[in-house]
Amino acid sequence: MLDPIFIKVLIGTLLLAASSSVVGAFSFLKGESLVGDAIAHALLPGVVLAFILGDGRNPLFLIFGALAAGLIAHYGISFLEQRTKLKGDTAISLVLSTFFGFGIMLLSAVQRTGLSQQAGLERFLLGKAAAITLSDLYVFVALALVLLVSVAVFFKGFQLMTFNEDFAAAIGLPVQAIRFVFTILTVLAVTVGIQSVGIVLMAALLITPAAAARSWTSSLRLMLVLSAVFAATAALIGTVVSASLPKMPTGPWIVLALGGIAFISLLFAPEKGWIARRKRAKGNQLKTQRENLLKLLYGAEEREGETVAMTSDMIVAMRRQHLDGLRKTLRALKKEYLLVERPDGFALTDKGRSEGRRVVRLHRLWELYLTERLGMAADHIHPQAETMEHIITPEIEALIVKELGNPEVDPHQSPIPYEED
């Protein structure tokens, strides 16, 4: 397994996968990743025609065939989207399936001659890295390096084109030209990528590393680097498995490995992963529940004019909340000395009262702000304030108080409770 040719093929395959995933990351961010899928399928007739018309063993010929077919497919999709009433998804799947069908028809014609085995045309369908000859590999590796260098050179342009095309045009960037360069690079990336994963699964190489990388970082540069690393890791796994199991194609293993990497990233990445987001959402929910409970007790004290104790049953009746969740919240508040438990129920401590007062104050300040500054009717503002009272920070609170000139009462004539000091 460790013979020098295998090592060369391995390194080459890693580079192919990495370089096409970097270009794929841009189309992923532009929301055009399935166009790449269509281009990959559309390359088949180009490659087979190049094989029929030209010298089948010259990789440059195949690359030109692929480039021509890919460009035709790309512009075909744009034409259908812009000039007919067909929607984007239909245009993509239409071009994808008819080009591929045409390719299969041509391939079946070539297969009868028996020449295709020699040229390894089948290798394009599902990828078989070990079947690549060394001279082919050098050409494709050179192409992969061209891709990486081009992305580095055009980085600023691609970045602007991806995130804000109008702005790019407004500051005088040649958007049309950048788009054209990007299209060429996409087609080349697909040509390079199908050497390792094959046509059918090419979409995975464009999309999956980018989707995985996106959940780790918000920086474009870092995301490109991570995409390349993920793709190369998956290519390593795929090539080794394919070399150890004789009949196994490379592409499916690379794609399965990518799927695994994406699954782990989407679930476990800090901040943007599913678990982290759930934790945050849960935290916000808990915070809201606690603040609402303190607000409820503070409101009761305000009405009665004295310290009020409430049993959990009383609170459940008022708040339509599950008893289990409420008990948990009460325990947490007690632990932080915001509430005390008395024989007749739970009551606010001084610290709890101050916290409840803060929530009520923010609620009323926001209601006042909505009526005074945004001109909203007094009977429409309560739900808004219910949300904002949990979000407004002390800095924003200070700004609102200043803006409204230290107001005394809210739109319903309830007093705005400031801290008594």
Partner 1 sequence: MTPTLAIALTAVFTAVSCALLGAFLVLRKMTMVGDAISHAVLPGIAVAYWLSQSRASLWMFLGAAAVGVFATVVIEVLRKKLKVQSDASIGMTFTTLFALGVILITFWSDSVDLDQECVLYGEIAYVPFNTWSAGGFSMGPIALWSSGLLLLAVLGYIFVGYKGLKMSSFNEDYAAVLGISVAAWNLSLMAMVSFATVVSFESVGAILVVALLVVPAATAYLLVEKLHHLLMGAAFIALVAALGGYACSRWMDTSIAGTIATLLGVQFLMVLLYQQLILKRNHHAVA
Binding site for partner 1 (CB under 8 A): 28, 31-34, 37, 41, 80, 83-90, 92-94, 96-109, 112, 125-126, 200-201, 203-204, 206-208, 210-211, 245, 247-249, 251-256, 258-259, 262, 266-267, 272, 274, 277
- Smallest gap from Cβ 116 to partner 1, in A, equals 12
Smaller CB distance to partner 1: residue 35 or 62? 35
Q: Coil, strand or helix: which one is 35?
A: helix
Quick one: angle between helices 175-197 and 155-163, nearest 10?
100
Q: Quick one: 191 or 265, whose CB is closer to partner 1?
A: 265
Q: How far is the CB of 263 from partner 1 (least distance, A)?
A: 9
User: What letters, b where the CB count within 10 A reaches 16 and e where it falls short, cover 352-390?
Assistant: bbbbbbbbbbbbbbbbbbbbeeeeeeeeebeebbeebbb
> Which C-beta is closer to partner 1: that of 277 or that of 342?
277
389 contact partners, CB below 8 Å, separation of at least 6: 291, 295, 359, 360, 362, 363, 366
Please say which residue, 181 or 248, places its beta carbon nearer to partner 1: 248
Residue among 243 and 309 whose Cβ is closer to partner 1: 243
For partner 1, the closer of residues 108 and 311 by Cβ is 108
Task: Provide the minimum distance between the beta carbon of 188 and partner 1 in the complex, in angstroms, as a whole number.
Answer: 19
State the nearest-atom distance from the C-beta of 27 to partner 1, in Å. 10
Helix or strand (DSSP H, E) at 161:
helix 155-163
In terms of C-beta density within 10 A (0-12 exposed, 13-18 middle, 19 or more buried), how is residue 201 classed? buried
Token pair of 77, please? Answer: 């999709």
In sign, the C-alpha dihedral spanning 195, 200, 203, 208 is negative
CB 298, min distance to partner 1, A:
37
Quick one: 62 or 234, whose CB is closer to partner 1? 234
Token pair in block for residue 395: 């800095």
Contact 383, 377 (CB under 8 A): no
**In terms of CB distance, is 101 or 174 closer to partner 1?**
101
Q: Rounded to the nearest whole angstrom, what is the least distance from the CB of residue 89 to partner 1 in the complex?
A: 5
Shortest approach of partner 1 to residue 281 CB, angstroms? Answer: 11
CA distance linking residue 53 with residue 421, whole number of Å: 91
- Paired residues of 342 in beta bridges: 345
Residue type, 160: L
* CB-based contact 404:416 (threshold 8 Å): no
Task: Kindly tell me which of 56 and 252 has the beta carbon lying closer to partner 1.
Answer: 252
**Of 323, 318, 315, nearest to 346 (Cα)?**
315
What are the structure tokens assigned to 218, written together?
């918000």
Q: Are 42 and 163 in contact (CB under 8 A)?
A: no
CB of 31 vs partner 1, minimal distance in Å: 6
CB of 59 to partner 1, least distance (A): 23
